[in-house]
Amino acid sequence: MKKEILDKIEIRQGDITRLDVDAIVNAANSKLLGGGGVDGAIHRAAGPGLLEECRTIGGCPTGEARITGGYNLPARHVIHTVGPVYSGKPQDRQLLTGCYLSSLNLAAENNLKTIAFPAISCGVYGYPIKDACKIAVDTSMEFLSRHPSLKKIIFIQFSEKDYGVYEAYLKSI
Ligand code: AR6
């Protein structure tokens, strides 16, 4: 059972905007109107249609997620989630878990089979990558055990160092 679930988890190093999947997840802010980091890269690659659709949503609270089209991206959808700004308090973990769960729930509700996540909150929001990686993988494995129709969850890291953290954690479980 555990192996079947682990086989659906893939780690990669690279640029999330290049992935041909049903949905890529955006580490957005609560206004959902674009920004820097992965958010900026996704909006640049998707084109102005994405911002237009985001304007109609009216924002998103931290720990939740919203879905849009993918526009000029190879991905069919973008799931925008808002990670916590790291504070070192227990609610960080709850909010980051909420980001992964809300994104995965949206994928399941929309019958999506493949989804890719960046390291939400691990850039300017300052979440330590090791703690965030454990939350991402543990939440995803638990979700996959309840939703066998989801075929693939990709964790894509920009840096070699962050990729190494995911590689080490997956080897340890
Ligand atoms: N593909 C994959 N990963 C990427 C890419 C990319 N193209 N670009 C950056 N990363 P961040 P946050 C990695 O700062 O911490 C924005 O301004 C990056 O190396 O993008 O959740 C939003 O509008 C890091 O590991 O997101 C918010 O205001 C990870 O993506 C705020 O930043 C997340 O870094 C959100 O901060």
**62 ligand 1 Cβ < 6 A:** no
Beta strand 65-69 pairing with 9-13: unpaired
What would the pLDDT profile of 61-116 be if each residue is shown by its tens digit?
999 999 999 999 999 999 999 999 999 999 999 999 999 999 999 999 999 999 99
Ligand 1 centroid to 82 CA: how many Å?
Answer: 11
Domain count, the chain: 1
Average pLDDT, the chain: 98
Whether 1 shows a pLDDT value over 80: the answer reads: no
> What residue numbers bound the domain in which 96 lies?
3-172
pTM of the complete model beyond 0.85: yes
Nearest CA to ligand 1 atom 34: 123
**Percentage of residues in the chain having pLDDT higher than 70:** 99
- Tell me, in angstroms, the distance from the centre of ligand 1 to residue 130's CA: 16
Assess whether the C-beta atom of 123 lies below 6 angstroms from ligand 1.
yes
Which uninterrupted H or E stretch holds 81?
strand 77-82
For residue 2, the model assigns a pLDDT of 83
Span 112-128, average pLDDT: 98
